[in-house]
Amino acid sequence: MTCFRFKRFAVRQDESPMKVGTDGVLLGAWAPVRPDDRRILDIGTGTGVIALMLAQRAPEASVTGVDIAPVEEARRNAEASPWSGRLHFEQSPVQRFAPAEPFDLIVSNPPFFVESLTCPDRNRTTARHAVELPFEELRDAVLRLLARDGRFALVLPVNEAARFAALCGERLHLIRRTEVRTTPRHPAKRVLLAWQRGPAETPCEEATLTIGTGEHECYTAEYRALTRDFYLKF
C-alpha cells in the first residue's frame, strides 16, 4: 500500500494514476480560502488530497470532490480523516455535474498537456492531458458552478497558464498570481492563479514563490511557511 502522510491526515494512492505531488499541495495550501466559505469544489480530485487540505483550512465548509475517474480511494481517504462528515465525492464529468447550490470556492489541478503526445496508459492520459476536460470546458464549468462573488484557483505550467488566462477574458477577473520556482536559479515552471466572479476590488496581487534554496533537501522560509500545517518535515 502506497500512503503519503501529512500532519493531520494520510492519503492512500494505490489506485489513482496521479500521486500526491508538489502542484496539488501548493494549490491546497495557497488557494484563497475565506472564513465564511461554506461550499468548496475540487475539480479532478484524484486521491482527494486537495479536498482534504481545504477541509482542514476551512473548518465550516462542506468540500466536494468531482472526478471523471472512480472516487472510491478519495472516499476512503476522507473516511479516515478528521473531516469525514464534511467531505463528499462524486464520479462525474464536471461538464455534467449539477449540484443544488453554487460554490464559494472552486479549485482545480487540471489536466494541462494540450499539444503533446499522449501516454499509452489511458488513465494517466486522462489525468495529465486536456482530452476529457479542454480548457474552454473547464472555464465554462467554473462559470456555471461558481457563486456570484466566488473565487476560482488552479495551478498550471507557465505557458498553459497564459493560454487559460486568455480564455477567461472579462468573464473572470484575476485577483492573485504567484509564479513558482524550484530554486532561485531556475525560471518559473508553474503558476498559481486565482480569479474572482465579478469585478475585482483591488489590482491583481503578483508574487513569486521559490521552493528550494538550491541545496539538497533545503527549503526556503516562504515555502515552509506556506506548507507547514501539512508536511511532516516542517
- Nearest CA-CA partner of 112 in 94, 95, 125, 96: 125
- Cβ neighbours of residue 68 under 8 Å, at least 6 residues apart? 44, 91, 92, 93, 94, 126, 132, 133
- Cβ neighbours of residue 129 under 8 Å, at least 6 residues apart? 111, 112, 113, 114, 116, 118, 119
Note the pLDDT tens digit of each residue in 157-189. 999 999 999 999 888 999 999 999 999 999 999
Q: How many residues does the chain have?
A: 234
Residue 117 has pLDDT above 90, yes or no: no
Note the pLDDT tens digit of each residue in 8-20. 999 999 988 888 9
Q: What is the pLDDT of residue 102?
A: 98
Residue 192 has pLDDT above 60, yes or no: yes
Q: What is the pLDDT of residue 121?
A: 46
Q: What is the pLDDT of residue 115?
A: 53
* Beta strand ranges found along the chain (DSSP E): 3-5, 10-12, 39-43, 62-67, 87-91, 103-108, 146-157, 173-181, 190-196, 205-210
Question: In terms of DSSP H, where are the helices of the chain?
Answer: 22-30, 49-57, 72-79, 122-128, 135-145, 158-168, 221-227
pTM of the shown model: 0.91
Q: What is the pLDDT of residue 195?
A: 96
Residue 124 has pLDDT above 80, yes or no: no
Residue 23 has pLDDT above 80, yes or no: yes
pLDDT band at 140 (very low <50, low <70, confident <90, very high): very high
Widest pairwise Cα distance in the chain: 49
Question: Which domains, from first to last, does the chain contain?
Answer: 3-227 (3.40.50.150)
